[in-house]
Amino acid sequence: MKRFRKLSLIVTFIFILTVVSGNFSIANAARLGFDNNDIVYMILTDRYPDGDPSNNGILGQEYRPGELKYHQGGDWQGIIDKIPYIKDLGVTAIWISPPSENELFSRDGSESGYHGYFTHDYYSADPHFGTKAKLKELVDTAHANGIKVILDVVPNHTADYLDPYATEYSSADYQPAYPFNNPNWYHHNGDIQDWNDQWQVENCDLGGLDDIAQENTAARNEIKKVYKMWVDDFDIDAVRVDAARSIPKDFLQEFESYLGVPSFGEIFYGDVDYVSDYQNYEWGVLDFPLFFKAREVFAHDASFYDVKNILDQDYKYKDPNKLVTFLDNHDRDRFLCLADDNYAKLRLGMTFLFTVRGIPDVYYGTEQAFYGGGRPTEWQGIANKENREVMNVFDQNNIIYKHIKRLAQIRKDYEPLRNGTQREMWVDDKVFSYSRRNDTTGDEVITILNNDWNIVTRTIPLRTESSIPVGTILTNLLDTSQTVEVTSGGVTGKQITVTIPKNNAMILVPGTPASYIPSAPTVTTIRVHYDVGWGNTMYLRGDTYPLWWDQGRKMRNVAPDIWEFEIERIPAGTTFEFKPLINDTTWSSGNNFIGVGGETIDIYPTF
């Protein structure tokens, strides 16, 4: 017994030294679960199913079904009910909304605290989500199914209680719960006005939300203490730190060490130099620089050199494999909203996300082709309404769901996609290829992305580091009926020649993987035959989404007198009406045209 107590004291002493020194190690991260082998699925708890209607709140007040700025009824029970669906998708970790009780409304009443970022009582569970016992049940259920739980934490601010620059609360009834109702625990410098001024970013309010002063010892200790409670009491595997850019870096480091689990921060900025430094203080960060450029490439046909320029700066990060990568989230327009609802573009972007270095993060609903209203809103600031739809579709046969499920399986089966060194193989405006290789074992996966609207052929040299010999047959994991042979030639003596359909990809590996043939998409193609003249553009309107009657979709010019638009959302055999317009203002003459889902419709309008 004495020997056991002595050993326990030694272990405890080592743990305390680790926490106090701030040297939270990679070994601790692996022991606690979350690591760069994972695939994240981000859930806004309120937008998942309503598993327990008794906790919805007051109808017509904070609970307003159909009004997306207010509570919709989603809760922890709703997530529990859908764990089999989440598991089948292939993700390994769920990132859920902040659990603490929120203020019911924003100061102006224009939205409720459904999202978790208007913290009222840090220590209590938000009753709209359920009890603490229900949260523990959710975590235990997830863990039993091999799914880790990431908690969204908000150590930067509470709700908007203090008036601008005020040092006292104006109401005894409108203030945060004890002990966070001490005005001395907050900054009193008004709102952030200049996001390029780091002092303002860290010491002013974000959109009026009361900014916690981490330099105040009591506030600093209490915010660590409360989240330590959530992490330890509920066996949380990792945390995502909201508004991490607005928190001093030394606190981020101390916070992570104190919690004892990996954290990754929201550094909402597109500059690698700025973002990369935060990984010196946290286990990981959300990869906003790559997000901004990748989204432009896949949604708006920008050049692959934009992505290359971001990846070329990976040396600035402490570990690029611990960057959390994404194509859309709760603050940005959904990908399909920006990409004119083009499913092929989404599949291509997801293929990039699951094969490029980093940890892929899928925003809930993306797997069901959610489109966030279809009209961009983030130009007004952040997107925080239509892109936060209620999750009411769980179709495991959806073609996007099945594609993401396949990508998740590939990532699990091929270790280099999780830990391998990334090396560029080819880049031009429309084609990008890279290798992910384990330099110890020689295992390698090659990805080739075609972002062109036409079929392309490229001869691509293998890397000098590659140990794949000439004569090897490589198989495309996205369609195993497609193979490529490594031949002699090129600058490295080994090369492959690939032909890839438009907006498509190949993930190539040696060996004999199990057969996989993807589902064939149902594509409706509308081709308008008309020469609109130099400088003009053809648009399309209709009665079935992604078409509207009040706003047109820009068509793609494929020949001087041919304009094309592709749709996958319309089911095969479904009839719909449409009409072309020049410059989205001049309608074609005559009646509406009739289309049928899954067919190619050629029309020859007059204007």
Supply the mean pLDDT for the chain. Answer: 94
**Which amino acid does the sequence have at 488?**
S
Give every CB contact of residue 183 below 8 A, 6+ residues apart in sequence: 162, 166, 167, 168, 169
- Apex CA 368: angle with CA 363 and CA 369, to 5°? 85
- Residue 390, CA distances (Å) to 45, 73, 289, 455 in order: 10, 9, 28, 37
- pLDDT tens-digit map of 79-128: 999 999 999 999 999 999 999 999 999 999 999 999 999 999 999 999 99
pLDDT value of residue 25:
32
Neighbour count for residue 601 (Cβ, 10 Å) = 16
pLDDT value of residue 33:
81
- pLDDT tens-digit map of 410-430: 999 999 999 999 999 999 999
pLDDT value of residue 31:
28
- pLDDT tens-digit map of 90-102: 999 999 999 999 9
Phi, psi of 378, deg, nearest 5: -70, -15
* DSSP structural state of residue 63: B
Is residue 402 within 8 A of residue 573, CB to CB? The reply is: no
**Which amino acid does the sequence have at 190?**
G
Q: Which residue has the higher pLDDT, 402 or 30?
A: 402
- pLDDT tens-digit map of 339-371: 999 999 999 999 999 999 999 999 999 999 999
Phi, psi of 236, deg, nearest 5: -70, 140
Report the distance separating Cα 202 and Cα 193, nearest Å.
Answer: 12
Say whether pLDDT at 7 is over 90.
Answer: no
**Which amino acid does the sequence have at 164?**
P
In CATH, the architecture of 267-387+395-413 is Alpha-Beta Barrel (3.20)
Which of the four pLDDT bands, split at 50, 70 and 90, describes residue 42?
A: very high
- Examine domains 63-90+99-258 and 267-387+395-413 and report if their fold is the same: yes
Rounded percentage of the chain residues whose pLDDT exceeds 90? 94
Say whether pLDDT at 6 is over 80.
Answer: no
- Apex CA 334: angle with CA 332 and CA 336, to 5°? 150
Question: From 1.25.40.10, 2.60.40.10, 3.40.640.10, 3.40.50.1000, which CATH number describes the 524-603 domain?
Answer: 2.60.40.10
Residue spans of the domains in the chain: they are 1-32, 63-90+99-258, 267-387+395-413, 419-509, 524-603
Is residue 114 within 8 A of residue 73, CB to CB? The reply is: no
Which of the four pLDDT bands, split at 50, 70 and 90, describes residue 32?
A: very low
- pLDDT tens-digit map of 474-517: 999 999 999 999 999 999 999 999 999 999 999 999 999 999 99
Phi, psi of 122, deg, nearest 5: -60, -30
Say whether pLDDT at 16 is over 70.
Answer: no
- pLDDT tens-digit map of 155-206: 999 999 999 999 999 999 999 999 999 999 999 999 999 999 999 999 999 9
Tokens of 56: 């919805």
Mean pLDDT, range 305-327, rounded to an integer: 98
Phi, psi of 459, deg, nearest 5: -105, 115
Q: What is the pTM of this model?
A: 0.94
Report the distance separating Cα 113 and Cα 119, nearest Å.
Answer: 8
| CA pseudo-torsion sign 414, 419, 424, 427 | positive
Report the distance separating Cα 585 and Cα 372, nearest Å.
Answer: 25
pLDDT value of residue 27:
30
- pLDDT tens-digit map of 576-606: 999 999 999 999 999 999 999 999 999 999 9
Which of the four pLDDT bands, split at 50, 70 and 90, describes residue 231?
A: very high
- Fold exhibited by the domain 419-509: Immunoglobulin-like (2.60.40)
Report the distance separating Cα 181 and Cα 185, nearest Å.
Answer: 8
- Fold exhibited by the domain 63-90+99-258: TIM Barrel (3.20.20)
Is residue 353 within 8 A of residue 417, CB to CB? The reply is: no
